[in-house]
């Protein structure tokens, strides 16, 4: 990785002329506890040393007083984008124990704090107590080198196709020094010595004892070695080995510091938005959604988000930028959060032009709200921000009461239901009122429709679809509780004569069989609301009555049923495809993302 511009520090000796009293700094050792192991991990110390060597620790001020020492400085990131103010206080107790309090203005999630270690290293240089700037971190006798080489010898030079290309540029691990523990760990990772796969005389002599990953598929090689460099190197280093990754390996792993996420309006629709998320690399935005899609496509059909729960908290998931770009190491926890929020990514063709994902207006608001904990979205239209805030309340913006002319007193839970229906209309959402039988779904709905008429919004009729036996009850209840509404029952052989006057009615009540028989007439009439009573009637997305119901022209849609799910989750998808087409994705993607994992895999998450 190219370092940001800065003064280079000689890697040999740092002059100690004019050395001041260094106090406890003179005895610090980064190869032993507590600095190594207790305060910092060895990988963190190596990152810190890289910052020091690149001259990115600036404005160092050191204060030494007996057993106390303080360091104040500014540390710039390798990308040059971030500057962190760092302060470190060290204290040595009378018993000789070293205590440390390090603070920085970096993000709280940067728990390893290489900036803090870099500040201490820079202070030691400033005081002239360092003989070289390796800080003793290169003294391990056990070395592990990751390299790339042409390993073919003898008849292997005759190999053709992908295998020949692979063996001419094979990635290897060369181990120097003896360690049964390291060798065992390499084998646990899936690495084997080349001589276990090929004859001795078919391998170039320098590489016979090297370890390699045995797969002829270039894509699997890329996945393995990117994961090895991003995650497994630290495991080997924890066993006491120094790991060197040669430049010719061709895999660059970048650990991003800043993420971004953007929701933008689509020009062709007010109800759909585009979403992208990624990282800043060298100050430029890099959209990682295409890389994330390729990652999901490489997984078997049995892939589950539970796999992330089994990973160590420090595990990184390397995603390659483009076809041959660097790999960005994304924390597994963040990957889990992104994938659990964006189920659209599991669809067969989730991305549109420009590598963005298409989100329903309400899904965009949900993504904004649910992604707040991990800062998934930092830029969104004001309308999406407002709806995200509204979804947290589930109440209308302005409190509403039942119309004075409504001839019923709502119980407290019915008042809540009425307000919720008003909230849905306000936010242009469909919904399922799923109260149990006897709790007053009809009264709540009539109160809501009466309020719509009273406020002048009901300038078109409302269509109520119900089982044939329930139609008379709707007419009776409407006349009892909302007598000011003009109600028409479309039933019987003479119903056809009423179609020309539908637009002059407030409520049109009819049955599902009539919907099928009179589809042409009903589909030609626009409605303010369409309400499905006993809405599980359309639980089968392939039935004729369901297909006709999907086509009804209405500003708002509502389902009433005490059993929104009778047999399977596919029934819920059918209801929501009627209410808000596209909100739960395609039926195939819904089955793959939700129905199959829940019904077959018992996936509670």
pLDDT tens per residue across span 459-492: 999 999 999 999 999 999 999 999 999 999 999 9
CATH code at 557? Answer: 3.40.50.10810
Q: How is 192-232 classified by DSSP, letter by letter? A: EEGGGTS-GGGB-GGGTT-EEE--S-HHHHHHHHHHIIIII
For residue 204 the two structure tokens come to 């170039």
Q: Determine the pLDDT at residue 124.
A: 94
Q: Determine the pLDDT at residue 141.
A: 65
Residues 6+ apart with CB under 8 A from 438: none
The parts of the chain modelled with pLDDT lower than 50 are 1-20, 109, 111
**Partners of 173 in the beta sheet?**
146, 211
For residue 229 the two structure tokens come to 């460099």
- In this structure, are 440 and 487 located in the same domain? yes
Q: Which of 349, 353, 380 is nearest to 367 (CA)?
A: 380
- In this structure, are 70 and 151 located in the same domain? no
Q: Determine the pLDDT at residue 313.
A: 58
How many domains is the chain built from? 4
- In this structure, are 209 and 80 located in the same domain? no
- In this structure, are 436 and 574 located in the same domain? yes
For residue 50, what are the domain limits?
A: 23-127
Computed over its alpha carbons, how large is the radius of gyration of the chain?
33
Q: Determine the pLDDT at residue 13.
A: 36
For residue 585 the two structure tokens come to 């994705």
- In this structure, are 281 and 246 located in the same domain? no
Q: Determine the pLDDT at residue 311.
A: 63
For residue 151 the two structure tokens come to 């390993």
Residue with tokens 């707040």: 372
The per-residue b/e assignment along 385-397, b for 16 or more CB within 10 angstroms, e otherwise, is bebbebbeeeebe
Q: Determine the pLDDT at residue 140.
A: 56
The number of beta carbons lying within 10 Å of the beta carbon of residue 163 is 12
Pick the last residue of a domain from 197, 217, 251.
Answer: 251
Q: Kindly report each contact of residues 391-400 with a partner whose C-beta sits within 8 Å and lies 24 or more positions away, as own/partner.
A: 391/362, 391/365, 391/366, 391/427, 394/420, 394/423, 395/419, 395/420, 395/423, 396/422, 396/423, 396/426, 397/426, 400/451
Single pTM value for the model: 0.62
Pick the last residue of a domain from 75, 93, 127.
Answer: 127
23 within 8 A of 64, measured Cβ to Cβ: yes
- In this structure, are 416 and 495 located in the same domain? yes
Q: Determine the pLDDT at residue 397.
A: 84
Q: Determine the pLDDT at residue 309.
A: 65
Q: Do the domain assignments include residue 529?
A: yes
Q: Do the domain assignments include residue 276?
A: yes
C-alpha span between 605 and 592 (Å, rounded): 15
The C-alpha angle 305, 308, 313, rounded to 5 degrees, equals 155
C-alpha span between 349 and 158 (Å, rounded): 41
C-alpha span between 439 and 402 (Å, rounded): 17
Read off the pLDDT of residues 381-429 as tens digits, 9 standing for 90 and up: 898 999 888 888 888 888 888 888 999 999 999 999 999 999 999 999 9
Q: Determine the pLDDT at residue 11.
A: 40
């Amino acid at each position: 990785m190219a370092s940001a511009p800065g003064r280079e520090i000689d890697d040999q000796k740092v002059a100690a002329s004019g050395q001041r009293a260094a106090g406890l700094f003179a005895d610090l050792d980064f190869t032993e506890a507590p600095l190594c192991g207790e305060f910092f991990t060895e990988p963190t110390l190596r990152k810190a040393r890289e910052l020091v060597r690149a001259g990115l620790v600036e404005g160092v001020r050191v204060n030494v007083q007996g057993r106390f020492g303080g360091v104040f400085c500014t540390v710039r990131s390798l990308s040059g984008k971030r500057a962190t103010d760092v302060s470190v206080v060290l204290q040595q107790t009378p018993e000789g124990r070293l205590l440390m309090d390090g603070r920085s203005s970096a993000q709280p999630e940067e728990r390893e704090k290489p900036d803090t270690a870099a500040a201490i290293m820079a202070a030691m240089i400033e005081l002239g107590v360092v003989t070289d700037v390796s800080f003793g971190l290169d003294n391990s006798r056990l070395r592990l080198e990751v390299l790339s080489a042409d390993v073919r010898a003898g008849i292997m030079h005759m190999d053709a196709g992908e295998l020949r290309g692979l063996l001419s540029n094979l990635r290897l691990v060369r181990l120097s020094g003896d360690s049964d523990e390291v060798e065992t760990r390499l084998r646990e990772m899936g690495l084997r010595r080349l001589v276990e796969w090929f004859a001795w005389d078919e391998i170039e002599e320098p590489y016979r004892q090297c370890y390699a990953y045995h797969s002829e598929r270039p894509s699997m090689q890329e996945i393995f070695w990117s994961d090895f460099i991003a995650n497994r190197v630290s495991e080997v280093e924890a066993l006491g080995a120094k790991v060197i990754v040669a430049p010719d390996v061709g895999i660059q792993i970048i650990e991003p510091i800043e993420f971004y996420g953007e929701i933008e309006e689509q020009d062709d629709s007010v109800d759909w938005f585009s979403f992208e998320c990624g990282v800043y690399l060298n100050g430029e935005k890099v959209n990682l959604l295409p890389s994330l899609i390729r990652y999901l496509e490489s997984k078997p059909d049995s892939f589950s988000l539970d796999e992330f729960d089994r990973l160590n908290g420090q595990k990184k998931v390397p995603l390659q930028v483009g076809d041959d770009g660097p790999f960005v190491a994304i924390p597994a926890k963040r990957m889990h959060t992104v994938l659990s929020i964006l189920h659209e990514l599991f669809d067969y063709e989730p991305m549109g032009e420009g590598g963005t994902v298409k989100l329903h207006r309400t899904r965009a608001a949900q993504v904004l709200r649910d992604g707040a904990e991990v800062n998934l979205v930092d830029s969104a239209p004001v309308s999406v921000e407002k709806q995200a805030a509204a979804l947290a309340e589930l109440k209308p913006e302005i409190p509403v009461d039942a119309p004075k002319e409504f001839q019923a007193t709502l119980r407290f839970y019915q008042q809540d239901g009425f307000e919720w229906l008003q909230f849905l209309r306000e936010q242009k959402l469909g919904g399922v009122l799923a109260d149990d039988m006897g709790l007053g779904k009809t009264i709540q709905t009539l109160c809501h429709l009466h309020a719509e008429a009273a406020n002048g919004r009901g300038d078109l009729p409302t269509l109520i679809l119900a089982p044939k036996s329930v139609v008379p009850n709707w007419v009776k209840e409407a006349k009892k509780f909302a007598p000011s509404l003009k109600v028409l029952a479309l039933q019987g052989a003479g119903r056809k004569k009423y179609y020309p006057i539908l637009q002059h009615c407030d409520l049109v009540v009819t049955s599902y069989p009539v919907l099928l028989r009179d589809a042409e007439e009903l589909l030609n009439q626009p409605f303010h609301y369409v309400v499905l009573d006993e809405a599980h009637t359309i639980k089968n997305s392939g039935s004729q009555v369901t297909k006709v119901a999907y086509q009804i022209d209405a500003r708002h849609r509502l389902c009433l049923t005490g059993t929104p799910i009778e047999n399977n989750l596919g029934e819920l998808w059918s209801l929501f495809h009627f209410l808000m087409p596209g909100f739960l994705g395609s039926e195939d993607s819904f089955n793959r993302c939700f129905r199959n994992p829940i019904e077959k895999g018992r996936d509670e998450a």
